[in-house]
Chain A
């Protein structure tokens, strides 16, 4: 009889600490449980506070995506106030949200994901020394450049919004500031500097050349075309990731959700897919089947989460967040609830965005090999190639504007939702206000979608499912599990450790 061994993989936090427990038979993962191990109680801190206070409290949920939290809170309050923000403010809010995503995508890739390639487990790999030279923490060339360039590009957020992280410049009606032409010119220069770095060092080609890569075979041809492309960070990623079999890891459920994000400002020259009102369209993909997105189909299941049971899964307008630690009862295992779309678990993030916006390269890659960790991380590395030209246009259009705020009366009563995409995907705030005070606040973070525990039908969450079937080369250093979970961009930090019930083995590994 096969011996099942249990391992615990602890994932550090930003939006919540995570721990994943896996069952292993003959070196293959046969089951997985994803467990949020930190409770911070944000939703209940907001109850009874003035409506606008959400703009100050919610960015503090996450140090790396505070702009996305601010945008979601602001959009929910705007719906309650029934106000349209000033068009020039919409342009700038979009640009600032996208700037945060550039930062996050690059830091995640080069400070969190790729350092795994410099793990000693690959010390016999022919590209190992090169991986160390590029990704060694605080020393590697790509790591140092990423720190420098992401720092610079975030100055765009500070010029318009005062600081990054944790500002509250998006308010119902627009933004608080009146940026000068010179402020906006500075933003354009900073973006153009970032673009130069991204083209020269990350892609190894200009954005126009990259935009011609529309299929798996185009990608292969691109890689072999020039030394600058082969040797770029993307070129190295493609070579290294394929050589270690990353495309065979982390398949998952093949369900994807996007709430849609980045509203198209009035009069913009930017064009969207199928004339969508959002640059990132909304949608739900279930295998080959595509559906229109309807937020009413979202429900949170707490069958396996440490919250007080209140009947069937609830839509976030009617659900609550009442912590209920059961100790060792053994059923509940996470502080993360299980969000479901139409009863199904769904993955969110850059790959979901690529598929729902019908990006030909990613449609082709996924139809050939299915979703996997390789393609998931690839989507994160190249997402900004599609963002940068749009950001440039929007900054230039904002320079023509002079109104950045529409007056809003006191926000007194009503319900609203803010659905946006942060770097990690779909983020939603569902809010009810009465007598000027917050009565109800429910937040579903992207990581809640990706890291969700089982639901009432005992269906696993996305990365629980993605771990199943993974063959581990070295049980003492199960780096494959780190690759898979990290390809979902599990917040900022992933610390992976194993606890073995075979006491002769070392306790395991921790990867950051």
Chain B
């Protein structure tokens, strides 16, 4: 029997839906067909009549129609003053509808950083929050202990936007009855078990501490230009974007968009540092040893890297 999927857009830009259209092998329509997923509703792709849509919503909310997957895109907007009226559907706050749907769904996926952690509006006057987190704090719109009918918490698939393979991969794993190992922020390790840095074509520059101060060069962006690649987890340089590249490969620093504090309060293009060494070091390293290693690495840097002769 086909699995059912309902896609709800809340406070967001639609970028995660656009990211889904980046899918290839299989693309979105092929994926739905192969895994027998019935897309009950997606605001960009569906063509139902309103009577139909309202009937569907009432059936889902009453439990008369089963809901296997609820995908939520965009943050929960609570403003102004907790009313949720900055984001409405049929004149009612969208958060009320969401509260009902999460209790009916077998599995809930928070697609993108806004739905996972609050994202863009989390510090703003719209009072945005994530489904089960508010930034890195456990407990968001739903409590810390909330579990969906499947027994899983809300599965967070952050990224701005979320990589399409993470969404397809998690849906496919659940349909196939596989376990989904999660990290402390309920992000699947399969897609968030590697840093953005892993697979970056500038890694050799990083290795020898050949670091850039300006754009338009081939070196590493970690020490001065704000790159979060070694600090943050996500599949960008493993799976690549649009099947082709990634921000860091083309000289755009990683802004750490999968991390619960995105968008960070400090400037994006300037690394916070102590005496020229980044304040935040690669996850888990010891500062003293790191300094010693980086000093030796810089001294060992080959001329071809220092003169940016090696392509990226």
Residues of A participating in the B interface, judged by any CB pair closer than 8 Å: 10, 12-14, 17, 37-42, 44-45, 49-50, 52-53, 55-57, 60-64, 66, 107, 111-112, 115, 118-120, 136-139, 144, 147-148, 150-151, 154-155, 157-169, 171, 173-178, 180, 323, 325, 335, 404-405, 407, 477, 491-493, 495-498, 506-512
Contacts and interface: CB of A to CB of B under 8 A. Distances in A.
B269 A10 contact: no
B111 to A, nearest CB: 12
Contacts of B12: 63
Contacts of A492: 14, 17-18, 44
A56 B250 contact: no
B270 A154 contact: no
Contacts of B23: 151
Interface string B31-65: 01000000100011111111111100000000000
A162 B246 contact: yes
Nearest to A8: B91
A509 B46 CA distance: 13
Given A325-B80, A507-B50, 13 more contacts: A13-B9, A40-B124, A53-B269, A57-B120, A111-B45, A147-B29, A178-B217, A335-B86, A405-B216, A492-B44, A510-B49, A512-B43, A512-B45
Interface in B97-116: none
A493 B125 contact: no
Interface string B239-260: 0111111111111100101000
Nearest to B10: A38
Contacts of A176: 215-216, 250-252
Given A139-B29, A507-B51, A40 B11 contact: yes
Nearest to A477: B49
A167 B252 contact: yes
Q: B interface, by DSSP: helix, strand, loop or mixed?
A: loop
Contacts of B121: 40-41, 45
B88 A50 contact: no
A14 B13 contact: yes
B125 to A, nearest CB: 5
A64 B50 contact: no
Given A63-B13, A155-B243, A509 B49 contact: yes
B215 A174 contact: yes
Given A176-B216, A507-B54, A511-B47, A161 B250 contact: yes
A64 B22 CA distance: 12
Contacts of B120: 40, 42, 45, 57, 60
Given A45-B124, A173-B215, A12 B250 contact: no
Contacts of A120: 49
Contacts of A61: 13
Nearest to B113: A60
A60 B217 CA distance: 26
Contacts of A169: 247, 250-252
Nearest to B27: A147
Nearest to B16: A63
B143 interface: no
A171 B266 CA distance: 18
A495 B161 CA distance: 23
Contacts of B240: 158
Contacts of B210: none
A480 B263 CA distance: 41
B51 A38 contact: no
Contact of B248 (A37, A53, A107, A162): A162
A492 B242 CA distance: 20
B160 interface: yes
Contact of A118 (B47, B79, B89): B47
B247 A168 contact: yes
B169 interface: no
Contacts of A163: 236, 241-242, 245-247
Nearest to B75: A40
29 contacts: A10-B90, A40-B11, A40-B126, A41-B125, A52-B269, A55-B268, A55-B269, A111-B45, A115-B47, A138-B39, A151-B24, A151-B27, A155-B242, A155-B243, A158-B240, A161-B252, A162-B246, A162-B252, A163-B241, A164-B18, A168-B255, A176-B215, A176-B251, A176-B252, A178-B217, A497-B50, A509-B49, A511-B47, A512-B45
Contacts of A511: 47, 49
B90 to A, nearest CB: 7
B214 interface: yes
Interface string B116-147: 00001101111000000000000000000000
Nearest to A405: B216
B255 A56 contact: yes
A407 B214 CA distance: 7
A66 B15 contact: yes
Given A10-B90, A165-B19, A325-B85, A405 B80 contact: no
Contact of B51 (A49, A52, A165, A506): A506
A325 B79 CA distance: 11
B161 A112 contact: no
Contacts of A150: 21
Contact of A62 (B14, B45, B126): B14
